[in-house]
Chains A and B, each alone.
Chain A
Amino acid sequence: MAGATGQDTGQEGPGVYAEVRNWLLAPSWLTIAIFMLMPVLLMAIYSFLTKEFRGGVIWDFSVASYDQFFLDRGLFGDEPPQLQWAYLTIYARSITQAGVATLLCLVIGFPTAYFIATRPASTRTGWLLLVTIPYWVNLLIRTLSMKFLIRDTGPINEWLMAYGFLDTPIKMINTDFAVQLGLFYSYLPFMVLPIYAAVERYDFALTEAAADLYSDRWTTLRLVLLPTVAPGVIAGCILVFVPSLGAFLAPDLLGGAKNFMIGSLIEEQFKGQSGNWPFGATCAMVLLTMVLVAVFFYARQQAKSTRAGS
């Protein structure tokens, strides 16, 4: 989806606008460098500053935030340091939630993408549009709709109880499942689109060849189709996993207080008087590092698959 536009087109000459290239690129470069890159670097610096009460920082170098994040020194700070689990648990939970959401997206998204890619061209665009539209609908509203639907007194429970299938409502809201469902719902199109693109390029002669060699269709799926479209699957997984990891709305609205994720942890550090900006910056740095590692592997994978031909 994103990769194609950064690559060489192969067919271009010297280019008419070569002389003014820097002027053409400057507005975007400067805007993003000043208002995105610099803030992120500043955030990295903030994570090494001292906390000021009432939110804000004192410009004194300190590793207190990282210490607070990783080490537990007891209630009075005088015990021998041990590994601090409080925050790592939140990160581990976020990874699990994002992982389950990714898996859910894959289980539903792969068959959907495959199904769309094997439709006749006339209905294919319609299907793609249907899958994409929800992504462009306000995320807050989508999460809110999900909350409304699965509440204890929401339509699902009300209907099931009205028709006598249930006596007491199924507890869906404020559970891990609700968060996973919310994340799945938020980022599903990110899974479908790259897989669709990969399956669309897949040569079905390979499937025929496999069938001629007495492979049944599930073996063909496992040994021929999946390895061939793997780059699309990996791209989809990363595109779902990364935003799920730092998601704020789904855990906030659907998860309740027990299902704290990274997004809420960070947000809390910047709200009100009890905030701790350097610590918030540290939490954000840890998240950013995790994401950049994922993106790096993704980029390497993409580079490998482009070099491999196609």
Chain B
Amino acid sequence: MSTETPAKTGKVVDLKRYPGFAHLAFLCLLILYAPLLVVAVYSFNDSASITLWGGFSLRWYEEVFFGLEAAKFKTAAWNSLSIAVTAAIVSTCFATSAALGMLRTGAFRGRPLSFALISLPLMVPEIVTAVATLIFFNTIAFERGLGTILVAHIVFCIPFAYLPIAARLQGIPGIYEQAALDLYATRWEAFRLVLLPLMAPGVLSGFLLAFIVSLDDFIITNFVKGAGIETLPTAIYGAIKQGIKPNIMAISTLLLLFSILLVALSWQIGRMGTDGKKPAD
């Protein structure tokens, strides 16, 4: 489809193009990335003053791994990782099962309500979820600690895992598992041997998103964690309350790279198998 129309002057104008929109789009990228880049660059600053440039050095990274607070951050990082992995695995299993229940069980009346329930954690503001979860654990007198953080994370990871998995499942015609059943596969075999391999990119990208979301969470974790238990974000928050120190910028940069890597991975996996085609809507 051509949108180029010769104007009266004889010059070809692109009707789709609006002057300034391209500039704003580049400005948008600049705003999004400038702060991250600046922090990443300054994390290599040799100077102890965090604004003056004193040459390239890795001393702050050294401090992160071997410095005074290394043990604290190591424990926090370990907590973060183990919670994120567990929460992502559990929520991905739940979400995969829910996607099958929503999309492979024929039309049913409760579907909109069921979808609303699954996406509830996305609609309620985080601070409200945090307060409500704190109140809940307090009322049932459940001691706050890693367990409460894990449960809270599983809850809000479910919709993040569900969306890519369901999107993927929606693009797979129902004939495959039907064919499997016709050939005397059990329902479980039809899922494990036929549907799951087809869904795999969606499941993997759902897992990665759940993992990132869990790793990132600050507000809910901050409310439901017990005293003395820290994840990486709460440890960083605690540290910057005393001022931004260069080692915090080094940790941030590491975490930043890790997230970007995971997103790129998730994106790549999500595109796998679709061959660049648009998934059926």
Residues of chain A at the chain B interface (Cβ within 8 Å)? 1-2, 4-6, 8-9, 11-18, 20-25, 27-29, 31-33, 35-40, 42-43, 46, 56, 107-109, 111-112, 114-116, 118, 125, 127, 129-134, 136-142, 144-149, 153-155, 158, 184-185, 188, 192, 204-205, 207-208, 211-212, 217-218, 220-221, 242-243, 245-246, 248-249, 253, 262-263, 266-267, 270, 277, 280-281, 284, 287-288, 291-292, 295
Contacts and interface: CB of A to CB of B under 8 A. Distances in A.
Contacts of B25: 111-112, 115-116, 127
Contacts of B32: 130-131, 134, 185, 188
Contacts of B215: 138
A80 to B, nearest CB: 32
Nearest to A245: B125
Interface of B: 1, 3, 5, 15-18, 20-22, 24-25, 27-29, 31-36, 38-39, 42, 50-52, 93-95, 97-98, 100-108, 111-112, 114-129, 131-136, 138-139, 151-152, 154-155, 158, 162-163, 166-167, 170, 173-174, 177-178, 181, 187, 190, 209, 212, 215-216, 218-219, 223, 233, 236-237, 240, 244, 248-249, 252, 255-256, 259-260, 262-264, 267, 271, 281
Contacts of A118: 16-17
A63 to B, nearest CB: 18
B178 A39 contact: no
Given A14-B106, A28-B94, A40 B128 contact: yes
Contacts of A287: 125, 127-128
17 contacts: A8-B111, A11-B174, A17-B100, A17-B187, A21-B105, A28-B97, A31-B94, A31-B158, A35-B136, A36-B124, A132-B263, A140-B233, A141-B236, A155-B38, A204-B16, A287-B127, A291-B125
Nearest to A129: B267
A28 B117 CA distance: 9
B39 A148 contact: yes
A111 B111 CA distance: 36
Contacts of A292: 123
B216 A29 contact: no
Given A32-B120, A284-B131, 13 more contacts: A2-B119, A2-B163, A5-B102, A24-B98, A111-B21, A115-B25, A129-B267, A131-B32, A140-B236, A148-B42, A212-B5, A281-B131, A291-B125
Contact of A42 (B97, B111, B136, B209): B136
B127 A137 contact: no
A273 B182 CA distance: 66
A25 B21 CA distance: 45
Contacts of A148: 35, 38-39, 42, 50, 244, 249
A13 B107 CA distance: 8
Scoring A32, A38, A220, A280 by chain B CB atoms within 10 A of each residue's CB, the highest score goes to A32
B259 A217 contact: no
A2 B215 CA distance: 22
Contacts of A281: 131, 135
A270 B15 contact: no
B120 A154 contact: no
A144 B125 contact: no
A237 to B, nearest CB: 15
Contacts of A21: 101, 105, 108
Nearest to B166: A5
* Across the A-B interface, the 4 shortest Cβ-Cβ residue pairs: A24-B101, A246-B125, A6-B115, A15-B106
B222 to A, nearest CB: 8
A146 to B, nearest CB: 5
Nearest to B171: A9
B28 A140 contact: no
A240 to B, nearest CB: 13
A39 B244 contact: no
Contacts of A139: 216, 218
A9 B120 contact: no
B173 A11 contact: yes
B53 to A, nearest CB: 9
A108 B31 contact: yes
A6 B131 contact: no
